[in-house]
């Protein structure tokens, strides 16, 4: 499948009413930056929406609520951090191709142009009966609709005493930031001939191709900078979960002799200080000592949602939603978008952006007394660097299926291998997505 087909596949899913649109896929980033849509006045809609979390999902939602809803719709975004650091592309910090600064996004356009009220702080409790949220600083915010977009939290691995071990000894770096830099520093400090161990949790986890992509980026860098080193991938899943052909080729051909891929591995004990890892594969217990250990831990929606009684997915770790509106299936008036929600779509930034638009549209329709769009269509896209100059990609289109009440995969396509052209297109795609979400 070539680039024309890739763009065609995405266009097939574009929602004119939801502006998922060609603007997101334009090649000229400067044009996008200079074409900010004005917030309309007098749409006749009014209401106060509180959004918790200003990442890929929450920031997009806050922007589109104002852009489509107009000045009568007031939006307050509560976010812990003053700037957002993109996870997408953060694997390229590990090989020195990107800096964390280059992945940092401010919310000036959101507040200055779109008129969203930004409250830097942490929501610690939700009082759904009183329709208000409580903040760690003692503040309180009342809402008409509440949207939760807080991303994920990470489990400890067996043998770990506290989450601070991720910050100091064995960074997961699955939330881009200081741990990403620590992992980069550990790779730089590792002697040539060392072993990097990456562990992958059982699906669902954030960014299905991301761990395999990371193994490739690290292997490619080790080849040039730490001769004789290897990457051991301990995958809790029975097989490569996505883009199997591309990653098998990457492991067995492009990075042959460097990446050792081990499916069906369950980690049973970790010593963060010595970086010794005990795991079982096919019933056999194995001990491996790593020079650098990058555990990607099992993931779940944040405890805030658990305390509120929202974690009703079959495994009890995520919030089940009605995908026409992203409203909780247990607590009406509370919507959950992005990685914290349980849907049939992958946990990905591109999907978080799409869910935000469907949710914004549904809330605005409700403010005007209408039902949500009965046939939403979304898409996902993911580019994976395989070396410092080649990438592969995967894209899917999801359509609402009334029979099952889920978003059903209607088209799936992957690149035929990794190419330089894909690597160039990756930047275009990334810049456009971030412009749409934060610009």
Ligand X SMILES: Cc1cc2nc3c(=O)[nH]c(=O)nc-3n(C[C@H](O)[C@H](O)[C@H](O)COP(=O)(O)OP(=O)(O)OC[C@H]3O[C@@H](n4cnc5c(N)ncnc54)[C@H](O)[C@@H]3O)c2cc1C
Selected from 122, 260, 322, 401, the binder of ligand X by CB under 6 A is 122
> Closest separation between CB of residue 228 and ligand X, Å?
26
> Among all residues, whose Cβ is closest to ligand X?
55
> Closest separation between CB of residue 279 and ligand X, Å?
22
The footprint of ligand X on residues 386-425 (CB under 6 A) is none
The footprint of ligand X on residues 52-111 (CB under 6 A) is 52-58, 78-81, 84, 87-88, 90-91
Edge to edge, what strands does the sheet with 123-127 contain? 123-127, 132-135, 140-142
Under the binding rule (CB under 6 A), the answer on residue 279 touching ligand X is no
Number of residues engaging ligand X in binding (CB under 6 A): 36
The footprint of ligand X on residues 200-219 (CB under 6 A) is 206-207, 210
Residue among 178, 166, 153 nearest 272 (CA): 166
> Is the Cβ of residue 70 or residue 385 nearer to ligand X in the bound state?
385
CA 384 to chain centroid: 14
> Closest separation between CB of residue 191 and ligand X, Å?
25
Under the binding rule (CB under 6 A), the answer on residue 151 touching ligand X is yes
> Is the Cβ of residue 39 or residue 57 nearer to ligand X in the bound state?
57
> Is the Cβ of residue 87 or residue 95 nearer to ligand X in the bound state?
87
Selected from 64, 143, 174, 398, the binder of ligand X by CB under 6 A is 174
Contact call for residues 70 and 43 (beta carbons, < 8 A): yes
Binding mask 328-367 for ligand X (x = CB under 6 A): ----------xx-------xxxx-x---------------
Under the binding rule (CB under 6 A), the answer on residue 373 touching ligand X is no
> Is the Cβ of residue 45 or residue 61 nearer to ligand X in the bound state?
61
Q: How far apart are CA 38 and CA 223, in angstroms?
A: 50
> Is the Cβ of residue 79 or residue 165 nearer to ligand X in the bound state?
79
Q: How far apart are CA 41 and CA 27, in angstroms?
A: 31
> Is the Cβ of residue 90 or residue 249 nearer to ligand X in the bound state?
90
Selected from 304, 311, 386, 394, the binder of ligand X by CB under 6 A is 304
> Closest separation between CB of residue 163 and ligand X, Å?
15
Contact call for residues 265 and 234 (beta carbons, < 8 A): yes
> Closest separation between CB of residue 301 and ligand X, Å?
9
Selected from 295, 302, 385, 396, the binder of ligand X by CB under 6 A is 302
> Closest separation between CB of residue 285 and ligand X, Å?
29
Under the binding rule (CB under 6 A), the answer on residue 150 touching ligand X is yes
> Is the Cβ of residue 151 or residue 376 nearer to ligand X in the bound state?
151
Residues engaged in binding ligand X (CB under 6 A):
52-58, 78-81, 84, 87-88, 90-91, 122-123, 149-151, 174, 206-207, 210, 302, 304, 338-339, 347-350, 352, 382-383
């Amino acid at each position: 499948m070539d680039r024309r087909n890739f763009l065609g596949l995405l266009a097939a899913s574009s929602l004119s009413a939801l502006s998922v649109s060609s603007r997101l896929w334009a090649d000229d980033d400067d044009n996008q930056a200079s074409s900010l849509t004005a917030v309309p006045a007098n749409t006749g809609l009014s209401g106060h929406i509180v959004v918790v979390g200003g990442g890929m999902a929450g920031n997009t939602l806050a922007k589109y609520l104002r852009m489509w809803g107009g000045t009568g719709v007031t939006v307050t975004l509560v976010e812990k951090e003053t700037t957002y650091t993109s996870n997408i592309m953060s694997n390229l910090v590990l090989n020195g191709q990107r800096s964390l600064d280059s992945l940092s996004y401010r919310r000036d356009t959101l507040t200055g142009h779109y008129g969203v009220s930004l409250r830097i702080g942490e929501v610690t409790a939700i009082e759904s009966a009183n329709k208000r949220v409580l903040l760690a600083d003692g503040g309180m915010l009342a809402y008409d609709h509440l949207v939760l977009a807080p991303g994920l939290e990470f489990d400890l691995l067996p043998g770990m005493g506290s989450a601070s071990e991720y910050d100091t000894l064995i960074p997961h770096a699955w939330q881009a930031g200081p741990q990403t830099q620590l992992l980069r520093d550990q790779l730089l400090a590792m002697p040539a001939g060392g072993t990097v161990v990456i562990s992958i949790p059982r699906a669902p986890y954030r960014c299905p191709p991301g761990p395999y992509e990371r193994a490739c980026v690290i292997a490619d860098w080790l080849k040039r900078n730490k001769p004789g080193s290897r990457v051991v991938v301990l995958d809790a899943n029975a097989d490569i979960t996505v883009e199997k052909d591309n990653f098998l080729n990457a492991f067995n051909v492009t990075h042959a002799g460097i990446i050792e891929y081990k499916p069906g591995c369950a980690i049973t004990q970790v010593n963060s200080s010595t970086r010794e890892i005990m795991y079982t594969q096919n019933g056999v217990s194995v001990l491996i000592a790593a020079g650098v250990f990058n555990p990607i831990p099992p993931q779940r929606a944040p405890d805030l949602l658990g305390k509120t009684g929202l974690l009703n997915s079959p495994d009890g770790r995520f919030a089940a939603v009605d995908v026409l509106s992203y409203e909780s299936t247990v607590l009406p008036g509370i919507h959950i978008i992005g990685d914290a929600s349980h849907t049939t779509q992958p946990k990905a930034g591109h999907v978080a952006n799409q869910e935000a638009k469907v949710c914004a549209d549904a809330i605005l329709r409700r403010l005007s007394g209408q039902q949500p769009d009965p046939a939403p269509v979304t898409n996902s896209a993911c580019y994976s660097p395989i070396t410092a100059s080649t990438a592969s990609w995967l894209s899917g289109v999801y359509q609402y299926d009334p029979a099952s009440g889920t978003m059903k995969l209607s088209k799936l396509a992957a690149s035929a291998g990794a190419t330089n052209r894909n690597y160039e297109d990756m930047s275009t795609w990334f810049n456009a997505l971030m412009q749409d979400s934060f610009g």
